[in-house]
Amino acid sequence: MNCHSILLLVTCVGIFTFASNRSYSIAQEPHSNAISDSPSKSIQGKNPYQVSFADFEWQLRDSAPLFDGRGGIGEKVPTEKAIDLFLKRIKEDPQDYASRTILGELYLRQATEDDNLASYGLAMDALRDALKINANHKPAKFGMAKVLIAQHQFADAISLLLKSIPDESQSPADLALIVDCHLDMGDLAKAKVALNRLAMLEDSPPIVARQARLAELTGHQDEAVELMESALRVVRLGSADPTEWHWYQWRLAGLAFDMGDLPKAHSYVQEILKVDPSDERSTILLAKIQFAKGNPNETLDLLTDLVTSHPSPPTLSMLGDLHETLGDSKSAAKYLDQAEEVVREEALIAKAAHAREAAVFFADHDRHLNEALELIQIDCKQRQDLYTRDAHAWILFKNNRLQEAKAKCVSLTELGAKDLSCLYHATKIHQALGENAIAKTYLQKIINVNPAFSIRYSADVARLQATWEMQPER
């Protein structure tokens, strides 16, 4: 199958084909949508760049019959087909490094779309091959930086980007990657500087989303919500495809959950699941929301359904934890064993990219605690952000290295008093050291926001709350 026929299959029916079949095509109805000049219909006096199609829509309501959905625009070539197309181009011309670069980008897209970790390796191979032919091909270097980030080699990625692309040439896309690296490495000051430069170049939703992330990481949750809401508004305006809104809605749901606003969180995930009932991360979040609302049976139903289609470590782990909470230790062990198996598989393929996740899973479930320590040390070499330090502290605590855990423990000030998992870890570390007064300050924050934030730890939070006779502060 040649390139053209592939694209023919996967893009659209020829525009002429359907235009000639329509009753409003040239031959049948030559003046169908033409509208004459009329001051009453104009946007005279308005800035033409602050006008959109919606400003005219009222007068067009009866004019243009809607297309019936055949072909047309808005469709994309499926990634697998696009990969085939570029593989063919490379076969025809092995020296075509531009096509090799595009192929690398397509493998990267496949990896993220399908969660296919092996595709990262293929992406890197394609990009390396491109650079073997043209060592100065910057797009290939940029693609490699993205793969390095995917593999959590943040320092290498940022070094590659800064070496390849001088400051004055950095595009918003370059800067966004640099911001991502700094955010992941926990270097918030540098992230802020790069983000400010980025915002001067562009204020699109992806950039506003990064501003929101920075606000969140510095404890400004309300600002993060405002920013995400504004980003979502723009995304809605720019696309009628609700699936393009989902990431923003999911982020807003997560922020609302972390702030204890369960109704709002619930509303956002429901909007997503109405359109895409198979959305895994929204279902996981809905399960957490239901649990926090005191509906463990609904949580159980959601996770049991989800685990059949998405047996991923978070789902398996949460389901195991839920069974344990509900007193079914046999089922709990079954799902947790499965989770461990998948965590190990992923860690094998993705190496450092899954080290922290695996380490925290082991620590949470008191499994392989020495290995957890080794894994988190691998992650520490890649980044020193808040979450890695918190995980390190938690794993040291589980290994009964309390003073070291305390030294790593993320402080209330750093946390902006918002991340409940980190607060819980700090509570337990200080409690174990007999520092109950400090432990209580952390626990109080959890009680105030959302004591049922975690399926695994909510019972312990309730127990501590009762032991220390603490109440939510209003």
Partner 1 sequence: MGMPWIFNRLFTGLVFVGLFAVNPLLGSDHLDSPGVKVDGSVDINDLYAFQSPTNPANVVFIITVNPFAGVLSGTTLNPAGVYELNVDTNANGTADHVFRFYFSAARRGVQRYVVTRANGNPFVSGQTGQVTRLQNGGSVTVGLFEDPFFFDLNGFNNGFAFTGRDFFAGANITAIVMELPRSTFGTNNIGVWASTVLQGRQFDRKGRPAINTVLIPSTMKNQFNSTQPAFDSALFGATVRTSLLGLGNSPERAASLASVLLPDILTIDTSSSAGFLNGRQLANDVIDAELSLLSNGAVTGDRVNANDKPFPAQFPYLGAPN
Would you say 237 or 348 has its CB closer to partner 1?
A: 237
| Minimum distance of partner 1 from residue 288's CB (angstroms) | 16
Alpha-carbon distance of 326 to 456, in angstroms, equals 11
Would you say 72 or 277 has its CB closer to partner 1?
A: 72
Alpha-carbon distance of 36 to 326, in angstroms, equals 70
| Minimum distance of partner 1 from residue 463's CB (angstroms) | 28
Angle between helices 118-133 and 97-114 (to 10 degrees): 170
Unique residue bearing structure tokens 């501003």 = 211
Unique residue bearing structure tokens 């593989």 = 87
Would you say 123 or 447 has its CB closer to partner 1?
A: 123
Would you say 67 or 435 has its CB closer to partner 1?
A: 67
Q: Per CB under 8 A, which of residues 388..407 are in contact with partner 1?
A: none
* Cα distance between the two ends of the chain: 67
Which H or E run contains 303? Answer: helix 296-309
Interface with partner 1, residue 2, by CB under 8 A: yes
Sequence-distant (≥ 6) Cβ neighbours of residue 311 within 8 angstroms: 338, 342
Would you say 149 or 447 has its CB closer to partner 1?
A: 149
Stretch that binds partner 1, among 15-23, 267-275, 286-294, 422-430 (CB under 8 A): 15-23
Interface with partner 1, residue 474, by CB under 8 A: no
Interface with partner 1 (CB under 8 A), residue from 90, 209, 306, 307: 209
Tell me, residue by residue from 369 to 388, as one string, x for binding to partner 1 by CB under 8 A and - for no binding. Answer: ------------------x-
DSSP state of 108: H
Three-state secondary structure string covering 425-457: HHHHHHHHCCCHHHHHHHHHHHHHHCCCCCCCC
Q: Per CB under 8 A, which of residues 221..280 are in contact with partner 1?
A: 234-235, 237-241, 244, 247, 251
| Minimum distance of partner 1 from residue 91's CB (angstroms) | 13
Q: Per CB under 8 A, which of residues 101..140 are in contact with partner 1?
A: 101-102, 105-106, 109, 111-112, 120, 134, 138-139
Tell me, residue by residue from 166 to 185, as one string, x for binding to partner 1 by CB under 8 A and - for no binding. Answer: --xx-xxxxxxx--x---x-
Interface with partner 1, residue 77, by CB under 8 A: yes
B/e letters for 311-334, b = 16+ CB within 10 Å, e = fewer, are ebbbbbbbbbbbbbbeeeeebbee
